[in-house]
Amino acid sequence: MTKTQKITYWVVTIWLALGMLSTGIVQLINMKDEVEAFSHLGYPDYLLTVLGVWKILGVIAILLPRLPLIKEWAYAGFFFVASGAIISHIALGDAVTDVLPSLLLLFLTIASWFLRPSDRKF
């Protein structure tokens, strides 16, 4: 892996981690806007806590060295959460601006997974 590839991986992964960490915290503390968004999508409020906890644990997993199997599960979880959010917004006919944050997180998830160094692969 070249130096440029390592830098690209870490830039993408840090952005992914920041995005998932920030949304996880917002969900965990049941921020008013997030609760309203979940209600709009038709999801129960308790799902905010579940997703918040799992997102924070997923961020820890992708940033820690080793643990390749746990990393795979974290990336899979991020993929399912982001793609599920995209589908939910589209199904309700929401504006493109409501879909873009989830689309960005999905792109970052795929890019980070694809660019990860061999010692982080299962």
Number of domains in the chain: 1
Q: Does the residue 121 lie in any domain?
A: no
| Predicted TM-score (pTM) above 0.75 | yes
Q: Distance (Å, rounded) from C-alpha 80 to C-alpha 58? A: 12
pLDDT in tens, 61-72: 999 998 999 999
Cα–Cα distance measured from residue 49 to residue 57, given in angstroms and rounded to the nearest whole number: 12
Backbone angles phi, psi at 92, to 5 degrees: -90, 0
Supply the pLDDT for residue 92: 97
Tell me whether residue 94 is in a domain: yes
Question: Which positions of the chain have pLDDT values less than 70?
Answer: none
CA distance 99 to 52: 19
Which residue range forms the structural domain that includes residue 65? 3-116
**49 found inside a domain:** yes
